[in-house]
Amino acid sequence: MSKTPHEFDLAFLESALKGKTLIVYWYLLQQPTHTVGIREVQRALGFSSPSIAVHHLEKLQDLGLIRKKGTGEYFLEEEVKVGILRFFTRMGRFLVPRYLFYSVLFSTTLTAYLTLCVLYRITPSFYTVMFGLIAVVIFWVETFRLWRAKPF
DSSP per-residue codes, 66-101: EEE-TTS-EEE------GGGGGEEEETTEEEETHHH
Q: Of 83, 106, 122, which residue constitutes the final position of a domain?
A: 83
Per-residue pLDDT, 78 = 85
4 falls in which pLDDT band (50, 70, 90)?
Answer: very low
Residue 146 in contact with residue 86, Cβ under 8 Å?
no
Per-residue pLDDT, 6 = 54
Per-residue pLDDT, 49 = 94
12 three-class SS: helix
One domain for residues 104 and 76: no
Question: What's the rounded Cα separation, in Å, for the pair 47 and 44?
Answer: 8
What's the domain range around 75? 5-83
- Residue 91 placed within a domain: no
Name the pTM for this structure.
0.78
Total of domains in the chain: 2
Please check the confidence at residue 3 and state whether its pLDDT lies above 70.
no
For the stretch 16-55, pLDDT in tens is: 889 999 999 999 998 878 899 999 999 999 999 999 999 9
Per-residue pLDDT, 1 = 46
Per-residue pLDDT, 32 = 79
For the stretch 119-142, pLDDT in tens is: 999 999 999 999 999 999 999 999
Dihedrals phi, psi of 141, to nearest 5 degrees:
-60, -45
Per-residue pLDDT, 31 = 85
C-alpha distances (whole Å) from 44 to each of 28, 40, 41, 92 are 11, 6, 5, 20
Dihedrals phi, psi of 146, to nearest 5 degrees:
-65, -40
- Residue 109 placed within a domain: yes
One domain for residues 111 and 62: no
